[in-house]
Amino acid sequence: MAGAWDSMAKGPEREWFRKRFDMFQDILKESWVYQEIGQEFLEQGYEKGLEKGLKKGLEQGLELGRE
């Protein structure tokens, strides 16, 4: 679906959509849909951060073990 919107909004139309979005951004931020999407992205960020942290910690542990 995102691809369909992307192909529809080129040049001036894209700018029109952007201005409309900016006008309604406060209302959208209060909607449950926006909040759920934000929560999903937050959780994905935590997961990626945890994975990176574990990998880094494992690498450091292996280096210390080799010394």
pLDDT digits (tens, 9 = 90+) for 24-51: 888 888 899 989 999 999 999 989 988 8
Residue 9, exposed/middle/buried by CB under 10 A (0-12, 13-18, 19+)? Answer: middle
pTM exceeding the 0.75 threshold for the entire prediction: no
Single out the residue of 38, 42, 40 nearest to residue 50, CA to CA: 42
